[in-house]
Amino acid sequence: MQVSDSIDIAATAQALYSMVSDPTRMGEWSPENLGATVVNPRPDGEAFVGMVFEGTNRRGRARWITRCTVTAADVAERFAFRVHAIGRKAPKINGANASWEYRFEANDSGGTTVTETWIEDRRRWPRAVVEIFDRVVTSGKTFPEFQEKNIARTLQALKSAAEAS
């Protein structure tokens, strides 16, 4: 399962990539993520394949931490990461959770089309557990339905932030 959405933004692919590939800034536009701490930063601060970060997240009163590893860092083209650990106060439960990808493409209006994709990675989880868990933590929705709205909100907030600068 995967969910994607795209938005046209009046900014360069380089500028948008720089924003999205800095996980410490994701809380500026994500409805759930509050930001992140990079575990193994490079001196220049740039994202790289293998970079690990821990994201702080909130949905209502629920809070949790995820451990993520960058799987693609193609400047101005693609940024992707895999969520592979989760926990309430620390990411102690290891296991595939989800993958996220952002693609950046020049568009006809002189800006950039940004596509955000969420990919379900919980293939080894028992399906019944996934379905019950999803409906509890999303107030009755499936995760794809829930992520459609989150992605749309994230992209709109990214557009507002990028076009305001």
Q: What is the pLDDT of residues 112-159, one digit of tens each?
A: 999 999 998 766 665 666 665 665 666 666 777 888 999 999 999 999
7 closest CA partner among 29, 22, 24, 23: 29
Phi, psi for residue 91 in degrees, rounded to 5: -75, 80
Task: Give me 154's structure tokens.
Answer: 């994230």
CATH number of the domain bearing residue 67: 3.30.530.20
Number of domains within the chain: 1
Domain assignment of residue 100, given as a range: 2-164
Sign of CA dihedral 151, 2, 47, 15: negative
Comparison of pLDDT for 158 and 88, the residue scoring more: 158
pTM for this model (two decimals): 0.91
Quick one: DSSP state of residue 61?
Answer: T
Contact present, 7 and 161 (Cβ < 8 Å): no
pLDDT, tens digit, 9 for 90 and up, residues 14-31: 999 999 999 999 999 999
- Which alpha helices (H) appear in the chain, and where do they start and end? 13-20, 127-137, 143-164
- The C-alpha atoms of residue 47 and residue 36 are separated, in whole angstroms, by 13
Comparison of pLDDT for 105 and 165, the residue scoring more: 105
Cα angle 87, 150, 3; round to 5: 95
